[in-house]
Amino acid sequence: MDSSRCIEKLEKKGVRATSIRIIVLDALMSSSRAMSLSDLDTVLDTVDKSSIFRSLEVFEKHHVVHSIDDGTGSIKYEVCEGEDECTVSDMHTHFYCEKCHRTYCLKDIEVPVVSLPEGFELHSVNYIVKGICKDCSRKP
């Protein structure tokens, strides 16, 4: 656990760094994939699920994380890279594996540009590609 990195990120976003928030953020930052509330509850078995949920709400409100709706009915969360708001780099492609049900961030694959009509304002992009991940494709 790198609590100093978590504390620094929370303080930059104006979020009080409680012990629970540090634990939740560390789990998200250490993961190679986006995580749901249920994923976090499993990994953080000593932390109450409602405390994890409240932390995620605060994180999303303060742009520490952004949510991903991958169509499974279970919202996933990923740490924002930007200093203030979630940035364009946070608007990247996500891959949902139909076999293991994990959502992966594909940061090197840009979301296609969408030209909105005049008067429309873009706030976020949710671009999900579905298929079988490389780990599952190797399994017999």
CATH number assigned to the domain comprising residue 75:
1.10.10.10
Question: 25-44 pLDDT, tens per residue?
Answer: 999 999 988 999 999 999 99
The per-residue pLDDT for 109 is 80
Q: Extract the annotated binding site for Zn(2+).
A: 97, 100, 133, 136
Q: Extract the annotated binding site.
A: 97, 100, 133, 136
pTM across the whole model? 0.76
Residue 113 is part of which domain span?
3-138
The per-residue pLDDT for 105 is 80
User: In the chain, what is the greatest distance between 2 CA atoms, to the nearest angstrom?
Assistant: 51
Taking 50 as the pLDDT cut, the residues of the chain under it are none
Residue 34 CA to residue 103 CA, distance in Å, equals 6
What is the number of structural domains in the chain?
A: 1
CA 81 to chain CA centroid, nearest Å? 10
The per-residue pLDDT for 140 is 74
